[in-house]
Amino acid sequence: TPVIEFRDVELTYPGPPAVHALRPCDLRIDSGEFITVMGPSGSGKSTLLNIAGLLDAPTRGRYLLNGIDTRAMGASRLAALRGEHIGFVFQAFHLLPHRSALENVELAMLYQSVPRGQRRLRATAVLERVGLGHRATALPTQMSGGERQRVAVARALVGEPSLLLCDEPTGNLDSDTAASLLALLDTLHRDGMTLVVITHDAQVARHGQRTVTIRDGVLSEPARQRTGAA
Ligand code: ADP
Ligand code: ADP
């Protein structure tokens, strides 16, 4: 079963004027794939990621997440599915400023059925996994950009998602720090994580096995790397 399957998915903002943010497309992403999404500003990258992340519903077509047809699901069912399957990493790290790294990660488990006593153990383990075991008590303001983004990755991973969606994860990082964040994503990929990463940066795109390009809402990818042709 693919992790992500778009069947003739389309998203149009009604307007007027109507905006065809994503033209009808098929997309299949299998478990363990590392895929990058490239395209100019306004081309539809966030729209694609928001649909994949169950933050927006397509106006037409079907989106199956791990084989589950998400069409016509209500908000609470979608939220539950999102929490169970998906981790998000954004360009701006979105950490709570007055909470430590450990607390930021623990808070991500608040609405999941993780027993309170388990939260600290799991948060500690996942901070260690991203190389920040020694920074657990630090506040975001005491951390570098690279460290903050690692905390954000830890927070995304703590729910044990099958899919990690990253929107310009290196957009606020200098090139050395970006390289180290990409090395972390490579490690997650080697460990079997499915990754979808939006980027402007061709350097970042080289890390993925597959690149999808979007232009004016039209999704395309080089034929030679296409996997499941629809
Ligand atoms: P990208 O992430 O590549 O910058 P987006 O997916 O954010 O592109 O946007 C795709 C298109 O949809 C753009 O033309 C954008 O202006 C438009 N758009 C995004 N959100 C809305 C909205 N809420 N209402 C109307 N148009 C929108
Ligand atoms: P990374 O490569 O993970 O971003 P750096 O080598 O840039 O880490 O930073 C090392 C240390 O310097 C960090 O532990 C942090 O305490 C401190 N530091 C770096 N940049 C900043 C910053 N912008 N604000 C606060 N502390 C910083």
For residue 200, the model assigns a pLDDT of 85
**This prediction's pTM:** 0.86
- Give ∠ CA 25-28-34 in degrees, rounded to 5: 120
Write out the chain's pLDDT in tens, 230 residues: 999 999 999 999 998 999 999 999 999 999 999 999 999 999 999 999 999 999 999 999 999 999 999 998 999 999 999 999 999 999 888 999 999 999 999 998 887 778 888 999 999 999 999 999 999 999 999 999 999 999 999 999 999 999 999 999 999 888 889 999 999 999 999 999 999 999 988 888 888 889 999 999 999 987 665 554 43
The pick from 95, 144, 149 for probing ligand 2's pocket by mutation, whose C-beta has the most ligand atoms within 8 angstroms, reads 144
**Does 39 sit in the ligand 1 pocket, CB within 6 Å?**
yes
Q: What are 95-130's pLDDT values in tens digits? A: 999 999 999 999 988 877 788 889 999 999 999 999
Burial 110-120 (b: 16+ CB within 10 A, else e): eeeebeeeebe
For residue 227, the model assigns a pLDDT of 55
Spell out which residues line ligand 2, taking CB within 6 angstroms: 142-147, 177, 180
Q: What are phi and psi of 73, to 5 degrees?
A: -80, 145
Residue nearest to atom 24 of ligand 1 (CA): 13
Decide if 150 contacts 132 (C-beta within 8 A).
Answer: yes
Mean confidence (pLDDT) of the chain: 92
For residue 222, the model assigns a pLDDT of 76
Residue nearest to atom 19 of ligand 2 (CA): 144
> How far is C-alpha 108 from the geometric centre of its chain's CA atoms?
15
CA distance 217 to 147: 34
For residue 230, the model assigns a pLDDT of 39
Decide if 195 contacts 164 (C-beta within 8 A).
Answer: yes
To 10 degrees, the CA torsion angle through 70, 72, 78, 82?
20
- Amino acid code (one letter) for 180: S
- Amino acid code (one letter) for 228: G
Q: What HEC string does 60-78 produce?
A: EEEEEECCEECCCCCHHHH
Query: Ligand 2: distance of its center to the CA of 194 in Å?
Result: 28
Please say whether the dihedral angle defined by the alpha carbons of residues 203, 4, 45 and 211, taken in this order, is positive or negative.
positive
Please report the ipTM that was assigned to this predicted complex. Answer: 0.67
- In a 3-state reduction of DSSP, which class is residue 169? coil
The pick from 36, 47, 55 for probing ligand 1's pocket by mutation, whose C-beta has the most ligand atoms within 8 angstroms, reads 47
For residue 96, the model assigns a pLDDT of 95
Residue nearest to atom 5 of ligand 1 (CA): 44
CA distance 66 to 138: 36
Q: Return the ligand 1 atom nearest residue 47 CA.
A: 6
The ligand with the least distance to the CA atom of 130 is 2
Beta bridge partners of 44: none
* CA neighbor of 104 nearest in space, from 144, 145, 146, 135: 135
* CA neighbor of 159 nearest in space, from 113, 93, 201, 215: 113
